[in-house]
Chain A
Amino acid sequence: MNFFRRFKKNPISSKESSDAIFSLSSGYITLETKLGLKNTGRSAVSIKVVDGMYFSDMKEDIQRFLDASQSDFGLTYRTVSDSYGYLWVIIEGKHMEDILAGVTAIGDTVEEKGFSDKLLATIFEFRSNMENIDSIQYLIYNYKRNNFYPFVPTGQKNRDTEQEMKILSAVEQEVHFEKDMAFWYPMWDLPL
């Protein structure tokens, strides 16, 4: 990460963020072979809601784009607002490439409309079936840090740090990863 960016408030450009996001296009295979983590095909982009016409314009643009590309990418979508004041655009697809393309296209639309500093995170959902215990695990892409970190919630506000460390060690070479654990912020009650 650029040293001076730490002092600037400028958000990362959509070119940089899509480079980072697309590092998952091979990383997700490694997660499956090394840790048995299967991508569920579900992802969600979270955007801080701003009151006003421009923001609702942007939301409509996103929806128009997703409607139009439904047949090309095979993506379905819905939008949800959460109690923290975030808009979630939840997409679901069959192939990781389509999902990544969808996520970056949403990011581009947000940036075009001048709301790139409102982009918070995109989450990618994985399912593990190790030792017959089903568990849902996430990779969270943080737009401001421009990298991924793992999040494995276990019940009420607890997380499985050990499994998170395993995810880190499995894909830190391939995926743009957050190595400083002080930035591994949890996201509870995800609306997926």
Chain B
Amino acid sequence: MSSISKPAWQKRDTGLTIRMVFSFAILTLLYLIFLSVLAYLGIGFIPIIIIASGMILAQWYFSDKIVMWSSGAKLVSKEQYPQLHELIERIVARNNLPKPRIAVINKNMPNAFATGRGQKSSVVAVTTGLLDILDTEELEGVVAHELTHIRNRDALVLTLASLFSTVAWYLMQFGFYGGLYSGGYGGRDRNGGGAMLIILLVAMLTWVVSFLIIRAISRYREFAADRGSAQMTGKPVKLANALMKISGTMRRIPTKDLREVEGLNAFFIVPALSGSTIGNLFSTHPPIEKRVQKLMEMEASMS
């Protein structure tokens, strides 16, 4: 493929960086506004910051263990799963990435995830259900998607992003009690009740907005990981296929002959409303149809 007419998805993902910086700027701003409101009300926040930072650090440091423990993933050796190890070794060798540790979850539900602090200590986990339903190339697509998450340090990014909403949440609690005490005992501020209300409102708003932003970042990074997978394997259609298999979209394709269903008025049925806009705002993953569509656009731009 010539370097002049590279399709957009093969270029460096500057959109991701811009969005990250922008989202963090907004989050930081919200955080600062919130803190200054608290500071104005005379609440010492050093104890809060120490607790929150300690928690977030611990969460990040133990993220792989927490995730592995809660999902029931078991690290597997090359002797136990030779094909899976070889498949992942092929991809990392081609793309100059360190080989992650590999884990398998004994579940029928097809799924996969990546976790870990850095590139070297990361883990790629797949369920046995995923290994059952996908063929080699589809599995490559899914693994490459997870490897892109690791390469893009998505776990760290999302941990940092959730730091803001967590801190906001805790501050909201402290703010609530702080307001209560200053209103009850101190009596230095006769408008204590009103101030408490403001704290609560600001805290809630901060939390809700940062929550939505985290969801948006997360959805965007899913698209980025799909794009990264397409670049690694050169076969976006395989990942699209895998996504459809995992989500059960494949089962939506009918098997009955058109001539058999014609009399059933099948064409006039109003399809069930799929994924309302509000639902989309809250979900961490973009809808499968959107991801498949984007992958197919990449596929089309290749030929």
Contacts and interface: CB of A to CB of B under 8 A. Distances in A.
Given A46-B259, A120-B258, A188-B257, A162 B241 contact: yes
Interface residues of B, number: 31
A169 B260 CA distance: 28
A121 B244 CA distance: 27
Nearest to A173: B300
A140 B258 contact: yes
A7 B259 contact: no
Judged by DSSP, the binding face of A is: mixed
B241 A120 contact: no
Contact of B257 (A8, A144, A181, A187): A187
B92 to A, nearest CB: 26
A81 to B, nearest CB: 12
Interface string A153-190: 00001010110011011100000000011111111100
Contacts of A8: 268
A18 to B, nearest CB: 19
Interface in B273-302: 292-293, 296-297, 299-300
Interface centre among B258, B269, B296 (most CB of A within 10 A): B258
A180 B255 CA distance: 14
B253 A166 contact: no
Nearest to B300: A169
B259 A84 contact: yes
B258 A35 contact: no
A186 B260 CA distance: 10
11 contacts: A7-B270, A8-B268, A161-B250, A161-B253, A168-B296, A170-B300, A181-B252, A182-B254, A183-B266, A184-B253, A187-B259
Given A6-B268, A9-B268, A184-B253, 18 more contacts: A6-B270, A7-B270, A35-B303, A121-B258, A142-B267, A145-B267, A157-B255, A162-B241, A165-B296, A166-B296, A169-B296, A169-B299, A169-B300, A182-B254, A185-B257, A186-B254, A186-B255, A187-B258
